[in-house]
């Protein structure tokens, strides 16, 4: 530690090397924070007089690309492409949940059948499915499709100060239910009824999903298209929103809630983030906020259906016949009401002005 204490310049060179190796900024910050914590322990033990990490610049200062935000109809089209792939209904539903819940990859692919609240139509996030060195872990135990868990308390909440916290969410706020919009819940429940495995989302061969494999085989072709710059190619598929990542579904969901006027306390609760400052004590989520959030998402779903081309609409109705009645009701609305469904902000204003006149699904 004395050698490290006298090596301030070496610490800066080490950080520069991490940046040169193209580690993510968040990863570098996490590595450096752990390193600094160890040195703080050395200071408290009086091994070194001070922490040499103080004053060291962690970020590389490079330009960071703005996060991509998808529109509801883009999300629906990508979900339809995933349905047409080997992923089928599982890929279709996973894509919708990504954008309509804001859940992390580990939170969504880690969902098990018993974690669904049928009465509240909500998925429950307790134990994310984590991938470490090629192995999958849930609740701190290695899992596989044949042996989903080796712990009896996976489906139960355990106190955070006990040993049962292994494999839990990042923070207590991350352990939460996420209510699904009614229209999206129908697809999730259909998926549950279509298979009997312990995990809800699986690969085409019935095994647990791996993030990199799913991204390369299914996610990227759905969003980036195939030979998008060669319209005359026989296997040409136009791009929807190139380079968007699964995690940017979470950013999109957060942006949608801001556009819909959802209060910050409700947004952070849905994303599994704690409030900061005094708001953490005094701000609370109410039933009115929850209804506003779900209504906004429902409006976006109906708007995405209206925005599809006729051939696309016929295709999705062929897959899911229950959508036929909903689409017929939407098309029967006056033009100003149809426009309202395309804009949740307008819809909210109309509901406040005419609460007795509500469209289908509300």
Encoded tokens for 296:
């906004």
Distance CA 183, CA 322 (A): 10
Question: Can you give the pLDDT at residue 342?
Answer: 55
Distance CA 105, CA 94 (A): 9
Question: Can you give the pLDDT at residue 83?
Answer: 98
Question: Can you give the pLDDT at residue 296?
Answer: 95
Residue-wise pLDDT for 92-119, tens only, equals: 999 999 999 999 999 999 999 999 999 9
Distance CA 217, CA 339 (A): 36
| 127 in Cβ contact with 168 (< 8 Å) | yes
Place of tokens 């380079």: 243
In the chain, which residues have pLDDT < 50? 150-164, 344-362
Question: Can you give the pLDDT at residue 69?
Answer: 93
Question: Can you give the pLDDT at residue 293?
Answer: 96
Question: Can you give the pLDDT at residue 145?
Answer: 55
What does pTM read for this prediction?
0.76
Distance CA 250, CA 97 (A): 10
- Contacting residues for 281 by C-beta, under 8 A, at least 6 apart: none
Q: Please give the backbone phi and psi of residue 212, each rounded to the nearest 5 degrees, phi first.
A: -65, -40
């Amino acid at each position: 530690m004395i050698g490290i204490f006298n090596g301030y310049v070496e610490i800066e060179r080490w950080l520069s090397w991490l940046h040169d190796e193209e580690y993510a900024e968040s990863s570098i910050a996490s590595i450096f924070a752990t390193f600094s914590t160890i040195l703080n322990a050395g200071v408290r033990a009086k091994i070194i007089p001070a922490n040499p990490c103080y004053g060291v610049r962690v970020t590389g200062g490079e330009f960071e690309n703005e996060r991509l935000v998808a529109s509801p109809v883009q999300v629906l089209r990508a979900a339809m492409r995933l349905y047409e792939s080997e992923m089928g209904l599982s890929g279709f539903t996973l894509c919708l949940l990504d954008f309509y819940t804001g859940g992390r990859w580990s939170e969504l692919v880690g969902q098990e059948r018993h974690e669904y609240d049928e009465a509240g139509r909500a998925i429950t996030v307790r134990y994310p499915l984590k991938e470490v060195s090629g192995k999958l872990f849930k609740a701190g135990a290695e899992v596989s499709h044949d042996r989903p868990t080796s712990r009896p308390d996976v489906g139960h909440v355990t106190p955070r100060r006990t040993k049962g916290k292994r494999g839990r969410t990042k923070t207590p706020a991350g352990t939460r239910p996420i209510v699904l919009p009614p229209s999206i819940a129908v697809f999730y429940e259909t998926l549950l009824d279509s298979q009997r495995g312990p995990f809800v989302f699986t690969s085409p061969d019935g095994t647990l999903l791996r993030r990199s494999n799913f991204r390369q085989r299914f996610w990227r072709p759905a969003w980036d298209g195939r030979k998008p710059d060669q319209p005359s190619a026989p296997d040409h598929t136009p791009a929807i929103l190139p380079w968007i990542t699964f995690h940017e579904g979470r950013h999109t969901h957060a942006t949608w809630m801001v556009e819909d006027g959802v209060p910050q306390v409700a947004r952070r609760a849905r994303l599994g983030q704690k409030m900061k400052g005094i708001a953490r004590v005094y701000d609370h989520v109410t039933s009115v906020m929850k209804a506003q959030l779900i209504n906004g998402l429902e409006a976006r779903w109906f708007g995405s259906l209206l925005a599809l081309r006729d051939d696309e609409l016929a295709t999705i109705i062929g897959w899911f016949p229950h959508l036929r009645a909903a689409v017929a009701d939407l098309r029967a609305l006056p033009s100003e009401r149809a426009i309202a469904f395309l804009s949740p902000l307008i819809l909210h204003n109309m509901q406040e002005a005419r609460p007795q006149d509500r469209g289908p699904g509300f």
